[in-house]
Amino acid sequence: MMLRLCLGSLMARALTVAMTIVAIALSVALFLGVEKVRTGAKASFADTISGTDLIVGARSGSVQLLLYSVFRIGNATNNLTWASYQDIAARPEVDWIVPISLGDSHRQFRVMGTSTAFFERYKYRAGQSLAVEKGAIMDDLFDTVIGADVAATLSYAVGDPIVVAHGLASFVEHEDQPFRVSGILEKTGTPVDRTVIVSLEAIEAIHVDWQSGAKIPGQSTPADVIRQMELEPIAVTAALVGVKSRLQVFGLQRAINEYPQEPLLAILPGVALQELWQIVGIAETALIAVSAMVVVTALIGMMATIFSSLNERRREMAIFRAMGARPRVILSLLVLEAALMAALGAVIGLALLYAGLFVAQPLVDATFGLWLPIEPPSLREFWVLLGVVAAGAIVSLVPAFRAYRMSLADGMMVRI
Amino acid sequence: MTRLVPTALIILTASAATADETRQLDAHEHGVGQLNIAFDGDQIAMELHAPGADIVGFEYTAESAEDRGLVDAAVATLARPLDLFALPAAAGCSVVQASASLESEEANDEHGHEDHAEHEEEGDDHAEHDHEDEHHAEEDGHTEFHAEYLLNCANPAQATLIDFAYFDAFPNALELEVQVITDRGATAFEVERDAPVLDLRDMF
């Protein structure tokens, strides 16, 4: 009876009610969306590296080392000299070590020099290995393996020649030494998708005719001559290390951090990630607070519309009272109306979120490399929605109490 | 170009004269120690680094009988890991190996001094440690206690709650930065005097 009355009353004012519901729906969609992006970003960061015990680089900050070595964000302050690299590789605790050399680019993508061990040792998403979708892992000096996004964006196929540019944003290209795409990796959802992988020797090879960052004019060494050359790097950017026994990780970390010949830093990827969350945490909280405020604003907007509707409905309320409705019926009628609006808003907001996710998922993935999973609403989201409905009901108590007090006296008086 | 060479040479030789030793010193924060815990199979390896100020309250070389007694007592306490970091009985852990020692950092007077100046600016890290009175500390640099433990556990996955009695044993210690490695990867925690419990349930 009450519900029918409510629905009827809402239908009678369909336009205002619809606008209120849209406002609530948008705010709920925003709130849940921010939450999705936040947890999605966290999960995709956490999934990027697994199975690596230590990352070694020049001594800087652990977050910085993690960002440039794994996520290709920012740059190294210093390199890790090859002598130190070999010292670490020779330590008895070390099970495997994979060098990483960054600094060159191909179009908008970074070029990474590494050893073939990278393909076996680099693990993502709880121990998954990289897999070659087409072609094979490089075996010639001028072979490259490219990530899925590189192949898709530049529409490369196996066998295509590519030219690597010196530095990250320069127009100087290493034209003498064109590379060949030997393999394309399967999509991983990690920065590897946006990386052109070459061998460590190849990074040295493309710099054979270069000195101090500039090309020596007129000099060009043929590829075959370069293949015969001893191409030992002077330094690498960082190294991924696997330790034989987990019990030795901390000992090795300390040994590297106290390495007397060169200031080095060894980090545990998980711990560095944790530090990163601590930094990002403040921004995250701010983001959640802002989107929560948007929900609050929408609910206050609803309160305002209920207030203004009270004026139009003075007569209606008075008639209810005259027909024998108690004041608390009036109160619950208004609260129920508000709760219904909030509930509709919450449900439509959820629907908007999923519609938005379906549309934005590939776009966000392509632009930011962030995979937002489309999953059924979590328990947490359910509580958020319930909270919105409850908050809507509570907020409506203010106008409802006013109606409760005024309903009879107010409506029966004829005002001119 | 050729005129640059002599200058470059001078710079090189000048730096070579002073660069025959590498100078570096670890960060040292009073009140804050480091604890590393690695779980592997049925073994747990732990490593503790704590500033001398946290453990015995001073960082000068112990010369008086009283001070030496304090250091010896501290080393003895540190050699009993299960009294400091209490693991649940269900884990069934026993100590296989435990060692503790006092390490002093080999810093010269000047270095120790500089380091202290920086510390003073950091503010309340030094709440428990008054430098005005303790001139020794400035002369001898910092000291650190270092302990290593190896435990054998019947059921290491039950070692999910670690109770840090460490803070009761050493009233000057305020915080431990904990790094943990398990099958599920590595994480960091901060365990403070106010809440001396480490919850590792998510790590198994």
pLDDT tens-digit readout, B131-173: 444 444 444 577 889 999 999 999 888 888 899 999 999 989 9
**Mean pLDDT value of segment B175-198:** 89
Residue by residue, DSSP assigns A323-338 as TT--HHHHHHHHHHHH
Q: Is A405 found in the same domain as A355?
A: yes
The C-alpha torsion from A328 through A332 and A333 to A337, rounded to 10°, is 160
Q: Is B95 found in the same domain as B48?
A: yes
Q: Is B167 found in the same domain as B82?
A: yes
Q: Give the dihedral sign, CA A241/A242/A246/A248.
A: negative
**Mean pLDDT value of segment A251-264:** 91
pLDDT at A171: 47
Q: Which two tokens stand for residue B190?
A: 């901060």
Query: Per the domain annotation, does A342 fall within a domain?
Result: yes
Q: A118, A98 in Cβ contact below 8 A?
A: yes
Beta strand extents in B2-122 (DSSP E only):
32-40, 43-51, 85-86, 93-104
Last residue of a domain, one of A241, A269, A303: A241
Q: Is A198 found in the same domain as A330?
A: no
Last residue of a domain, one of A219, A241, A263: A241
**Mean pLDDT value of segment B77-89:** 91
Rounded distance, CA A381 to CA A189, Å?
25
Smallest Cβ–Cβ distance between B187 and the set A53, A249, A274 belongs to A274
Query: Per the domain annotation, does A268 fall within a domain?
Result: no
Number of domains in chain A: 2
Q: B31, B127 in Cβ contact below 8 A?
A: yes
Query: Per the domain annotation, does A311 fall within a domain?
Result: yes
- Residue A177: which of A267, A87, A106 has the closest Cα? A106
Q: Is B124 found in the same domain as B52?
A: no
Rounded distance, CA A265 to CA A58, Å?
6
Q: Is B176 found in the same domain as B127?
A: no
Interface contact B38-A275, CB threshold 8 A: no
Rounded distance, CA B68 to CA B51, Å?
16
A202-206, A257-261, B42-46: least confident range: A202-206
Q: Is B110 found in the same domain as B39?
A: no
Locus of tokens 């009270």: A310
Task: Tell whether A34 lies on the interface with B, counting CB pairs under 8 A.
Answer: no
Smallest Cβ–Cβ distance between B38 and the set A247, A263, A270 belongs to A247
Q: Is B185 found in the same domain as B163?
A: yes
Q: What is the pLDDT of residues A184-207, one digit of tens each?
A: 999 888 889 889 999 988 888 777
Closest residue in B to A250 (Cα) is: B36
Q: Would the pLDDT of A7 be above 60?
A: yes
Rounded distance, CA A364 to CA A371, Å?
7
**Mean pLDDT value of segment A92-118:** 90
Q: How confident is the model at residue A322 (pLDDT cuts 50, 70, 90)?
A: confident
pTM, whole model, 2 decimals? 0.74
- Rounded to the nearest 10 degrees, the angle between the axes of helix A379-412 and helix A314-322 is 80
Q: Is A98 found in the same domain as A228?
A: yes
Query: Per the domain annotation, does A262 fall within a domain?
Result: no
* Residues 217-246 (A) with a CB less than 8 A from some CB of B: 245-246
Report the share of chain B in percent with pLDDT over 90. Answer: 31
Task: Tell whether A367 lies on the interface with B, counting CB pairs under 8 A.
Answer: no
Q: Is A294 found in the same domain as A230?
A: no
Q: Is B125 found in the same domain as B24?
A: no
Reported as type and span, the H/E element at residue A36 is helix A14-46
pLDDT at B118: 40
Q: How many CB atoms lie within 10 A of CB B104?
A: 14
Q: A20, A345 in Cβ contact below 8 A?
A: yes
Interface contact A270-B45, CB threshold 8 A: no
Q: Would the pLDDT of A348 be above 90?
A: yes
Q: Is A232 found in the same domain as A283?
A: no
Q: Which residues of A touch B179 (CB under 8 A)?
A: 250, 268, 271
pLDDT at B110: 37
Last residue of a domain, one of B120, B140, B160: B140
Report in angstroms the alpha-carbon separations of A121 from A149, A389, B197. Answer: 21, 50, 35
pLDDT at B64: 87
Q: Is B115 found in the same domain as B148?
A: no
3-state secondary structure at position A222: coil
Q: How confident is the model at residue A216 (pLDDT cuts 50, 70, 90)?
A: low
Q: B100, B146 in Cβ contact below 8 A?
A: yes
Q: Which two tokens stand for residue A136?
A: 């094979």
Q: Would the pLDDT of A278 be above 90?
A: no
Residue by residue, DSSP assigns A226-253 as HHHS----SEESEEEEEESSGGGHHHHH
Helices marked H in A101-248: 117-121, 148-153, 200-205, 223-228
Assign residue B123 a region (left: φ > 0; alpha: ψ between -120 and 50; beta: otherwise): left
Inter-chain Cβ pairs, chain A and chain B, closer than 8 A: 46
Interface contact B185-A250, CB threshold 8 A: no
Last residue of a domain, one of B91, B125, B140: B140
pLDDT at B8: 46
pLDDT at B112: 36
pLDDT at B48: 93
Amino acid at B159: A
**Mean pLDDT value of segment B9-33:** 64
Q: Is A302 found in the same domain as A214?
A: no
Stated length of chain A: 416
Q: Is B182 found in the same domain as B81?
A: yes
- Could you tell me the residue range of the domain that residue A345 belongs to? 2-45+277-410
Rounded distance, CA B74 to CA B76, Å?
5
Rounded to the nearest integer, the mean pLDDT of chain B is 76
Q: Would the pLDDT of A224 be above 50?
A: yes
Q: A80, A238 in Cβ contact below 8 A?
A: yes
Q: Is A147 found in the same domain as A203?
A: yes
B59 to chain A nearest CA, in Å? 21
Rounded distance, CA A57 to CA A9, Å?
68
Q: Is B125 found in the same domain as B147?
A: no
Query: Per the domain annotation, does A51 fall within a domain?
Result: no
Smallest Cβ–Cβ distance between A250 and the set B22, B36, B43 belongs to B36
Q: Is A226 found in the same domain as A137?
A: yes
Q: Is A40 found in the same domain as A96?
A: no
Query: Per the domain annotation, does A64 fall within a domain?
Result: no
Interface contact A247-B185, CB threshold 8 A: no
Q: Which two tokens stand for residue B127?
A: 């709440």
- Residue A396: which of A351, A347, A343, A348 has the closest Cα? A343
Last residue of a domain, one of B140, B159, B193: B140
Interface contact B179-A268, CB threshold 8 A: yes
Q: What is the ipTM of this complex?
A: 0.72
Rounded distance, CA A116 to CA B63, Å?
57
Rounded distance, CA A87 to CA A75, Å?
24
**Mean pLDDT value of segment A24-29:** 94
Q: What is the DSSP-derived secondary structure letter of residue A78?
A: S
Let me know if B134 is exposed, middle or buried by CB neighbors in 10 A (0-12, 13-18, 19+): middle
Phi–psi pair at A52, nearest 5 degrees:
-95, 125
Closest residue in B to A244 (Cα) is: B40
Task: Tell whether A258 lies on the interface with B, counting CB pairs under 8 A.
Answer: yes
Q: Is B146 found in the same domain as B135?
A: no
Q: Which residues of B touch A249 (CB under 8 A)?
A: 38, 181, 186
Rounded distance, CA A84 to CA A294, Å?
54
Amino acid at A211: Q
Q: Is B151 found in the same domain as B51?
A: yes
Interface contact B188-A249, CB threshold 8 A: no
More reliable by pLDDT, A371 or B90: B90
pLDDT at A356: 92
* Residues 147-186 (B) with a CB less than 8 A from some CB of A: 150, 179, 181, 185-186
- Could you tell me the residue range of the domain that residue B43 belongs to? 4-105+142-203
Beta strand extents in A237-354 (DSSP E only):
238-243, 264-267
pLDDT at A176: 58
pLDDT at B137: 40
Q: Would the pLDDT of A376 be above 60?
A: yes
Query: Per the domain annotation, does A17 fall within a domain?
Result: yes
Amino acid at B174: L
Q: Is A319 found in the same domain as A229?
A: no
Number of domains in chain B: 2
- Rounded to the nearest 10 degrees, the angle between the axes of helix A14-46 and helix A327-368 is 40
Q: Would the pLDDT of B75 be above 60?
A: yes
Smallest Cβ–Cβ distance between B38 and the set A250, A270, A274 belongs to A250
Closest residue in A to B36 (Cα) is: A250
Q: Which two tokens stand for residue A164?
A: 């690597």
Amino acid at A91: R
Query: Per the domain annotation, does A387 fall within a domain?
Result: yes
- Rounded to the nearest 10 degrees, the angle between the axes of helix A379-412 and helix A327-368 is 140
Locus of tokens 């508000």: A338
pLDDT at A168: 54
